[in-house]
Structure 1
Amino acid sequence: MLSATGFAAALAVTPAAADTVIANIPIIGQPWGMAMTSDGKHAYVASGYTGLVSVVDTVTNSLATTIDQDLGDPVAIALTPDGTRAYVASRSGGVSVVDTATNTRLGGIGVGSTPSDIAITPDGTRAYVTNFNSTAYGTVSVIDTVTNTVTNTLRVGKNPHKIAITPDGTRAYITNNNSGTVSAIDINTSAITEIAVGSWPAGIAIAPNGSRAYVANNNSGTVSVVDTATNAVVNVIQGPPRPNAVAFTPDGSRAYVTDGANLTISVIDTATSTVATTYPMDSGPGAIVFTPDGTRAYVSLSISAEVAVIAIKKDVPNLPSTGSLGSRGS
């Protein structure tokens, strides 16, 4: 078997076209949430209905290993800044803490009902968990990552779904599906500001410079742009019909919006706040993460049980299973 170095050396270095699927990686179960390591060498994938976390080697674009530690029904995953631990949220209840060096489960943390997402503050001291079916109003659990205990439970809108934290670690933003709002949480004081957005806000992402939050409104077919300094909606971008997830390129010049219902990925030019292009996919795209250098995007495809690898720049070598976004190689 080729090592990562040998594999990379064996690749044809013909430049791949930008925004082209260059690999499709089979995953056990249904891939949902993902997290990229800070060095960009591995992507961790929550494999729904399996109790597993899949680890993708981004050098070879292959499945490196699966973490089989009875993790419930994994739906979301977050890594500590130093990469030593993974926090895995399970829809069947609770958060598991995994040692990424040994791929062993260190323990579990009880949170609210039906966790749906998790994010860790940039300093690594706290994890925020959205509890989708927690109560009539919805809650967010705050975990102290030193003691791995819940230190606070915050009341937010109905059916809190996705979460994003600003790069400076001062605020967390929560989409509330059934309230049509985003809850902006002051991490230092736990004060909460509710921001009205579109119908059924789903995915959310913070621009790399922290100035804007993009909110994918699944029932409105729009992306709300929130000014994080004022917590006000400053723009509404007409997006794909059913946007469900959003992620910024590391340089902040583009935001990629997935539409799993219509099998597309739309690319927003953040300078003009317009959709620059929309690409068809062969399977419904979900979560999306980028390598730190911005050359590749990894997209979960839950129906086909794969992770698609998309070349973002033209200096990415061609890999097996190449193809356009609309027609994968077989």
Structure 2
Amino acid sequence: MTSTRTCADEGEDGVLHRIMPLLGRRGPVVIGPGDDAAVLDVAGKLVVTTDMLVEDEDFRTDWSTARDVGVKAAAQNLADVAAMGAEPIGLVVALGAPGDTPADWPEGLAEGLDAECARAGVSVVGGDLSAAPRLTVSVTAFGQFAGGRPVLRSGAGPGEVVALAGTLGRAAAGLDLLAAGFGDRAGTHGPVAELIGVQRRPTPCYEAGRAAARAGATAMLDVSDGLVRDAGRIAQASGVRIDLDGPFESDLDAVRPAAEALDASGPAAGADGDRSFDTCVRWVLTGGEDHGLLAVFPDEKSVPEQFRVIGSVVAGDPGVTTGGLQLPVGTASGWDHFGGRFRGGDGA
């Protein structure tokens, strides 16, 4: 049940008093939340990344609980650390909230943050709290290299293979289901509910990043903005062409229930199967937020077990082709914070 008290009622100290007991202590933390700054016992190179979620831009409170937002905020930052081939070691979190925010919303956020941190073996080590016009969650994640090296986007070369750890299209399908109102329907269950769950609470495989680095990955990133768009970033940074030829059958099969549900419930009811297939392909190739890891390896023998080969690196003008599906998908397809949900590509 939503609290009748608000953040303004509780005041800053009251909200912090609610949050602090919910944050576990894991990883190389010497001094955690409660002092002016945290202290971590870190050896080697430090990795730092930051990201934020803004209400009605990156999440909606009628679609996601505060716990959902906490899980997602932690996951998208920890995935960026993993994409460098590093081991996560902690997060700091800043929350901006209107005064009329229910006082238990920050509690739910803290529970979600801590739950996802527990999956990665780290903790929230500090942060900040402030009044703001709308809910804003800003996370900074830290990581370290255990004797390894950073894996950049710029090291891919012709003749190498492209592989993915994780899934594709699920979060994008879940987003369209939420937009169509399926999140509020009592009868939403099974595969459709599972796809909505991926959008609300992604589960990146953090260990895959370290495994890729150990295996000699030459380039890697977190697929947050869509496979084609993010593969294009590796292609541009490395000065190569990437051909994505799959297999994508498992991803297409996973999102097909969403396409069928949307066709059956909307004005497109009765549309032919080709339209549903095109929708599935769009989700798989251009949908983001599953937070899988896309990496390039010298050859198939070096690909770790967490990854599956889905393409190759070839010489040519930087860009992306999708040879396996014979689709002219441009590298601009995918999520853009200032360009809307899915930008149409101009061909690869």
Q: What is the TM-score of this pair, normalised by structure 2?
A: 0.25
- The answer to which structure has the higher helix fraction is 2
- The answer to which structure has the higher strand fraction is 1
Q: What is the TM-score of this pair, normalised by structure 1?
A: 0.26
Higher gyration radius (CA) = 2
Highest RCO, 1 vs 2 (Cα 8 Å, sep ≥ 6)? 2
